Structure 1
Amino acid sequence: LLLGVGYAGLSLAASFTHVLIVFGVLIAPANVLLGPVASTVLLSRWFVVKRGRAIGIAIAGISAGGFLFPMIIQGLLDTYQWREALQLLGLVLALWTIPAALLVVNHPAEAGVQPDGAGEALPQVQAEMQKTVVSPLQVLSDPAFWMIAGTVAVVTSGMKGMITNLAPLVMDAGIDVSRAAALVSTYAGCSFLAKLTFAALADRLGPRILMSLALGGFSLGLACLTQSHLGYGVIALGVGLTGLLGGFMVPMESYLAPRVFGQHVVGRAMGLLTGVVLIALLCTPPLFGLIFDLTGSYKGIFWTFSLLALVTLLFVPSLRLHPRVP
């Protein structure tokens, strides 16, 4: 409802201040409420054995929406004036999402079933529900929290910094900037494939192997981008590796939170994790630009994130994969 009303509200904006107010009051809260916190809580209740598969498929919806909705928006803008287009977009979003939200069942027990379709409650589910809820301070004092937050932040913020500075990187390498669009499509396609691959492998390989693949692939991808002077092919290889293997880290936060902190506090843990990672995501794009302005090259920042990923990789074997014992 907030999302639909928000885009309709944008159609009435008479200044950029109005745009900021609508985004801050309506659209930003909508993104939080529709984001990974709510979906992780819901999926962790409905899936235990198949949780990785469920989260991977659900997170792939972000990439699918990123592919589909720009075309819908562009079609509306090509057909109508921008104010009418935004009003229609708000209506489309409301018709698309509100019925889906009304179909959500908060807990399997409300439908008379068990997680994963089991005939009776699994032992790990029974044990989880008997645990006491921990405070935010207890979550923040858990070393596993900072290990997960740091690992996810390195990869996701590095990918954000890369993609937002991709066009200047291409221009700096002496390549026509129009070819940057194909690189963005390559990244988006590889990211979508990463989510589906995660869904297929998560419950078989486990988080440590997938985290190692994500960190190693991300590090190698950014190392390729430090050699952008070698041409378009090397840049495309770096972007593809970063999206395909580094993309494993995007659903990892949702996959690990219920396992490491327990299903009974997964919402609280996810909210805190998302907040920490968001700070890194906000800082990284301008940091990439600042380093370029100071040094005349992206090579230094790419090497920095590549090496950070390798350092983080050393801590993966020691990550706790179960709720902390009081």
Structure 2
Amino acid sequence: MSIHPKSPGPDKPRFFYGWYIIAASLVMLLLVNAVGVGIFFKPILEDDKFNWDRATLSSVYMYASLLFALVTPLLGRLIDRYGPRLMLSISVVAQTLSSLLNGLASAMWHIFFARFFYEIKPYQSSQVLINRWFVGLRGLAQGIAAAGMPLGALLLSPLSQYLIIIWGWRPTMLFWAGLTLAVSLPLIFIIRNKPEDKGLVPDGSLPTVSSRENESSYPSAAAAESPGRTLSQAAKSGSFWFLSATQLICGIGCGFMMTHIVIFATDFNYSEMIGATLLSVQGGFNILGVLLMGHISDKYARHKVLGWTHFIRSLAFFIAVTFILLDGANLWLLYLSMALFGFGWFTTSPLTSGLVADLFGGLRMGTIIGVTMSYHTVGMALGAYAGGLTFQITGSYYAFFLTQGILEMLAVGFAFAIRRQKARV
């Protein structure tokens, strides 16, 4: 018997290159939350150059997000035509420009375009990229990469808040602009658009799907390279619209929380640093959410996992209502709310992109993911603005939290209604 280890065969490399793709995506997504809107919302309001109220700044963010929603499907087409690597490069430049423009802003249009560039995040491209590199482990792979977003909230939100205290919000923005470019740009050279570019196949070897609850509902490795359905074919499926509806509702909640949660805490006389720690709690629990639910979605029906995720999110908003009714005296309730919201915060994104690949798949998935993401972006715009407007009219966020809790329950029903259907052509 030979004592020398066998060299890996051509169909099973020693270490699958796809995991390098995951690592690069995670780092790029991590840096996005260094300049999360919630941390900078109050400092911008207090800047002498602006003197805006919450509704005004929220409306600026809303219109910028709506503009981005219009171009999101076009970005998806670019991904399908030229590959995710090009769009990831554009995202790195856009994130850098966003922080740079924010740091130098002196007029409303500067903040508007800074927010627009901020919305060109790496995750649309990374989701398509990971769907190409992974099939049998798609949920887990998407979850690991998506963990970059909550990890950024966990680690970088408190750091940004600290830097704002000692430097001010403008120098902090300029600092992150330089660091984002210096760290993210070299990572582009690691990216390959598909495993075939490295002489590989998805997952490193042909996956098995026998452990799935409904094997016929999920694609084989060969399906990752099939053309898949066109957008018009996908739009004839009820599941496409149910999925888009969940994204709209998800976006409303995310837009509100990411914009208003820090200033919401200060309304009850808690410090800005407490508000930043709320974002850290959100980020910490979301790491658990994306990894756990991503893994579970590889074993059970992904649409049901999405439904349960929205149910957990609904509890977060109802608990926030209780916090308000108790006049903010129980801070632990707010932390509990953020923990539950965090568990489901970015968790919906990899589940949704995985469902797009499962249901409509193939080389056109960038366009379809782009359209579903546009619904999420519209939701974020509405959530950010509706939160500011609700406070402006009522002096409280109570009505928003209650309404969003009900909407999240509605999203549970939409998610469970998703089925793998044959589109009418």
The TM-score with structure 1 as length reference comes to 0.81
Worse-superposed segment, 163-172 or 212-221 = 163-172
Structure 2 equivalent of residue 243 of structure 1: 342
Structure 1 equivalent of residue 414 of structure 2: 315
Query: Taking structure 1 as reference, are residues 234 and 119 closer, same or farther at Cα in structure 2, changes over 3 Å only?
Result: closer
Query: Secondary structure of the equivalent of 2:125?
Result: helix
Structure 1 equivalent of residue 280 of structure 2: 185
Structure 2 equivalent of residue 222 of structure 1: 317
Query: Taking structure 1 as reference, are residues 65 and 322 closer, same or farther at Cα in structure 2, changes over 3 Å only?
Result: farther
- For each residue in 1:33-72, what CA deviation from the matched residue of structure 2 results, as whole angstroms up to 9, or x when unmatched? x522211111111100000011001111122234455538
- Amino acid across the alignment from 1:203: D
Q: Distance in 1 between matches of 2:161 and 2:404?
A: 34
Is residue 251–residue 377 contact of structure 2 (8 Å, CA) maintained in 1?
A: no
Query: Secondary structure of the equivalent of 1:205?
Result: coil
Q: Distance in 2 between matches of 1:247 and 1:127?
A: 26
Aligned length: 319
Matched, 1:36 2:123: yes
Query: Secondary structure of the equivalent of 2:192?
Result: coil
- For each residue in 1:138-188, what CA deviation from the matched residue of structure 2 results, as whole angstroms up to 9, or x when unmatched? 44443222211211221332133134333454455x453454333232222
- For each residue in 1:69-102, what CA deviation from the matched residue of structure 2 results, as whole angstroms up to 9, or x when unmatched? 553896699689967983x654433331222111
Q: Distance in 1 between matches of 2:322 and 2:288?
A: 25
Structure 1 equivalent of residue 270 of structure 2: 176
Matched, 1:107 2:202: no
Is residue 114–residue 121 contact of structure 1 (8 Å, CA) maintained in 2?
A: no
Structure 1 equivalent of residue 250 of structure 2: 155
Query: Taking structure 1 as reference, are residues 166 and 92 closer, same or farther at Cα in structure 2, changes over 3 Å only?
Result: closer
Is residue 102–residue 110 contact of structure 2 (8 Å, CA) maintained in 1?
A: no
Structure 2 equivalent of residue 284 of structure 1: 383
Is residue 129–residue 264 contact of structure 1 (8 Å, CA) maintained in 2?
A: yes
Q: Shift in Å at residue 214 of structure 1? A: 1.1
Query: Taking structure 1 as reference, are residues 78 and 142 closer, same or farther at Cα in structure 2, changes over 3 Å only?
Result: same
2:371 to 265, 272, 289: 272
2:299 to 174, 196, 204: 204
Query: Taking structure 1 as reference, are residues 111 and 316 closer, same or farther at Cα in structure 2, changes over 3 Å only?
Result: same
Identical counterparts, % of pairs: 22
Is residue 245–residue 414 contact of structure 2 (8 Å, CA) maintained in 1?
A: no
Structure 1 equivalent of residue 144 of structure 2: 57
Worse-superposed segment, 213-222 or 191-200 = 191-200
Q: Distance in 2 between matches of 1:186 and 1:80?
A: 24
Q: Shift in Å at residue 219 of structure 1? A: 1.3
Structure 1 equivalent of residue 97 of structure 2: 6
Higher relative helix content:
1
Q: Distance in 2 between matches of 1:311 and 1:157?
A: 13
1:45 to 107, 119, 132: 132
Q: Shift in Å at residue 131 of structure 1? A: 4.2
Is residue 3–residue 93 contact of structure 1 (8 Å, CA) maintained in 2?
A: no
Q: Distance in 1 between matches of 2:271 and 2:384?
A: 19
Is residue 154–residue 281 contact of structure 2 (8 Å, CA) maintained in 1?
A: no
1:213 to 308, 329, 338: 308
Is residue 153–residue 277 contact of structure 1 (8 Å, CA) maintained in 2?
A: yes
Worse-superposed segment, 276-285 or 245-254 = 245-254
- For each residue in 1:112-149, what CA deviation from the matched residue of structure 2 results, as whole angstroms up to 9, or x when unmatched? 11111115999823345444652x44444432222112
Is residue 49–residue 116 contact of structure 1 (8 Å, CA) maintained in 2?
A: yes
- Amino acid across the alignment from 2:354: Y
Query: Taking structure 1 as reference, are residues 322 and 93 closer, same or farther at Cα in structure 2, changes over 3 Å only?
Result: farther
Q: Distance in 1 between matches of 2:140 and 2:148?
A: 13
Q: Shift in Å at residue 305 of structure 1? A: 1.6
Query: Secondary structure of the equivalent of 1:48?
Result: coil
The TM-score with structure 2 as length reference comes to 0.64
Query: Taking structure 1 as reference, are residues 308 and 73 closer, same or farther at Cα in structure 2, changes over 3 Å only?
Result: closer
Worse-superposed segment, 66-75 or 212-221 = 66-75
The Cα RMSD (Å) is: 3.6
Q: Distance in 2 between matches of 1:294 and 1:20?
A: 24
- Amino acid across the alignment from 1:37: Q
Q: Distance in 2 between matches of 1:305 and 1:73?
A: 27
- Amino acid across the alignment from 1:38: S
